[in-house]
Amino acid sequence: MAPSGTPAPYRLQCIVHRESAGGIIIHDEQIPGPVEAAAIDAAKARFAHLLAGRAGSAALRDPLGRVVWSARQNAPPGTAGSLRP
């Protein structure tokens, strides 16, 4: 566990879909948060920024590896990065 006063290192893991040869972007970063609610708010904002209108999914894990928040977004049809059927 993190020392008192040090935010716990939550881990945000995202998969962002794109139309290209690579197909997906895999993103993994630490999200500091003094409490779980703060880390979730930061993860939601970061996920929205990473997607930028594309489809993708994310999971936020606590320091013990448990999923504390997850989300999935489908891009609107015809937008950059949307998946073709």
* pLDDT single digits (tens) 39-72: 999 999 999 999 888 899 999 999 999 999 999 9
Within-domain flag for 62: yes
Number of domains in the chain: 1
What's the half-sphere exposure (Cβ side, CA atoms, 13 Å) at 55? Answer: 15
Within-domain flag for 78: no
Within-domain flag for 16: no
- How many Å apart are CA 72 and CA 56, to the nearest integer? 6
Within-domain flag for 1: no
Domain range for 41? 31-69
Within-domain flag for 14: no
What's the half-sphere exposure (Cβ side, CA atoms, 13 Å) at 31? Answer: 28
- Quote the distance between the C-alpha of residue 37 and its chain's center: 15
Within-domain flag for 2: no
pTM: 0.75
pLDDT band at 22 (very low <50, low <70, confident <90, very high): low
Within-domain flag for 53: yes
Within-domain flag for 74: no
- How many Å apart are CA 38 and CA 83, to the nearest integer? 32
